[in-house]
Amino acid sequence: MILERLWRWRVALMATVVGVLAAVMRFASLGHPTDLVFDEVFYARGGYSLVELGFEGEWGGDNQDFAHGDFSQLSDEGDFVVHPNTGKLLIGLGMKMFGATPFGWRFFAALFGVAACVILAFTARRLFRSTIWGTVAGVLLAVDGEHVVLSRTALLDGFMTFFVIAGFALLVMDRERTRERLMAAAAQERGALGWGPEVRLPGGGPNLGIRWWRLAAMVAFSVSVSVKWNGLYFMAAFLVLSVVFDWYDRRAAGYEDWFGGGFLRAIPAFLTTVVVLPLVYLASWIPWFTSDNSWGRHWAEQNPGEGVTWLPESLRSLVHYHRQMWDFHKSLDTPHNYESNPWFWPFQWRPTAFYFEDAPDADCGADRCVSAIHAVGDPLLWWVAFAVLLFALWRVVRHRDMLALTLAVGYLAAWVTWLPFAHRTIFTFYTVTMAPFVVLLVVWALQRLAQPARLGGAWSPRGLAIAGVYVGLVLALAGFFAPIWIGDPIPFRYWQLHMWFPSWV
């Protein structure tokens, strides 16, 4: 009983440490800067319009009028926007709760950022079978610059990252429960037949019925798509991975036709996805359906006989609108100071500067003070993670390591899918969706170093020392970079010390 309580206290301590650290990094001075930062110009104003008008109206005037409390430039004419509504609705809800203030439009980004860190800690605890390593994973995400900055700004990518982490966590739960049930069913069959564990069983294994954890994961991934379309990459990658899990576990349970058994059960899962994704995605467009002034809402009525004619008029209009959105994204190649080539994203080669202003009224102890926000990940995390990724891929090919495959799939889904669009105007801050898997890869490597397989899970003093020093250096570097993640006024010379490469300036 005492040991059980102590174990629960360890888990509670993990959640508390991760949650408090993540909250401090995300909520401290959340109302600063008072201006709209980077693309908050689009999403904060879009969120306000959604909760005030029920649709996204067109804005006039200066972009910063909104930040100064002037909402008079919002018209009742629909605006052409190129992302779905879920993220902007959450931003708008924050303003409903706390007013149209910087804290209000950033509140839910920060809250979901904290929740993402805690969920990742619990997921890592399951993956690595260790509360200690779960805590390390949550702490490292809590102090990573990409995730901190995107959790402190009213952009969409932080919300998408949360729902991707949630979907991934649910699939990890599904895999664990499904494997337990498969092994139990195989043991029961062998017991009934009087066979030993070395004998392979006929058939492909049992039908386990509705897998509620996987269904919940489908919903979470579908919501990520309703934030930004590239959530679809994660949904496809991880649901295919769940089929691979099924094949692997049925084979491990000893079923002869493990491939056929897993494939057969994948068919209803695919059909369920085909139903769940459109339903969740369409639900996110309810404000568009219910508002007469939404952009393109009555296109089908104004263009009879055009488009997908067999659909109802409202859906036909929405399909046409999505074609316009797709055409916009395909042709988005306007030069931008901070655009970056995705081939270099793992190295954070061209981080996005969200904000940079002189702060003449600040007392920073220097002649020139500046306030800057740069979405750059902790270099020690990101550079090491790429090396670990190469090792993980080797483990997959050489040893069929399922844990290595799981972590590599998350990293690659966030990165490789952007490589064909290297010619487009895209930014390094999109890598915030990679951040959870950067952390998981690093923690996986640290665990292998501190608890090598040759010791059967026992601690290696040398490996533990190396892992401890590394984590300490990551945290120290996070403390060094924190001012340019949070935007605290600092001496200009101190800001320059953070610009390690010309591409960072």
pLDDT, one tens digit per residue, over 416-474 is 999 998 888 888 999 999 999 999 999 999 999 999 988 888 999 999 999 999 999 99
15 and 124 inside one domain = yes
The one-letter amino acid code at 287 reads P
375 and 492 inside one domain = yes
Q: 3-class SS at 368?
A: coil
234 domain-assigned: no
d(CA 322, CA 354) in angstroms, rounded, equals 28
302 and 442 inside one domain = no
Number of helices (H) and strands (E) in the chain: give both, helices first: 18, 5
493 domain-assigned: yes
- CB neighbours of residue 397 within 10 Å: 11
372 and 396 inside one domain = yes
Q: Are 187 and 205 in contact (CB under 8 A)?
A: no
157-172 confidence digits (pLDDT tens): 999 999 999 999 999 9
Closest CA to 297 of 308, 305, 285, 279: 285
The dihedral of CA 462, 468, 470, 473: what is its sign? negative
Q: Are 495 and 370 in contact (CB under 8 A)?
A: yes
- pLDDT confidence tier of residue 7, bands split at 50, 70 and 90: low
359 and 315 inside one domain = no
pLDDT of residue 490: 93
| Average pLDDT of the residues in 238-265 | 93
Count of domains observed in the chain: 2
CA dihedral 164, 335, 483, 441 (to 10 degrees): 40
Tell me: pLDDT of 333 over 80.
no
Q: Which range of residues forms the domain containing residue 318?
A: 287-330
pLDDT of residue 42: 92
440 domain-assigned: yes
d(CA 258, CA 201) in angstroms, rounded, equals 10
Strands (E), 310-457: 352-358, 369-375
21 and 58 inside one domain = yes
447 and 366 inside one domain = yes
383 domain-assigned: yes
C-alpha count within 13 angstroms, C-beta hemisphere, residue 347: 10
Residue that wins the pLDDT comparison between 112 and 68: 112
- pLDDT confidence tier of residue 1, bands split at 50, 70 and 90: very low
Query: In this structure, what token pair is assigned to residue 352?
Result: 């996005």
308 domain-assigned: yes
Tell me: pLDDT of 231 over 80.
yes
Which segment of 149-153, 287-291, 471-475 scores lowest on mean pLDDT? 287-291
d(CA 329, CA 425) in angstroms, rounded, equals 9
55 domain-assigned: yes
d(CA 139, CA 359) in angstroms, rounded, equals 31
pLDDT of residue 6: 55
318 and 425 inside one domain = no
6 and 134 inside one domain = yes
253 domain-assigned: no
315 and 373 inside one domain = no
100 and 77 inside one domain = yes
309 and 344 inside one domain = no
The one-letter amino acid code at 271 reads L
74 domain-assigned: yes
Indicate the burial class of 43 (C-beta count within 10 angstroms; 0-12, 13-18, 19 or more): buried
Chosen domain end from 330, 346, 361: 330
Chosen domain end from 315, 330, 345: 330
pLDDT of residue 4: 53
3-state DSSP percent of the chain in helix, strand and coil, to 5:
65, 5, 30
Query: In this structure, what token pair is assigned to residue 476?
Result: 């120290």
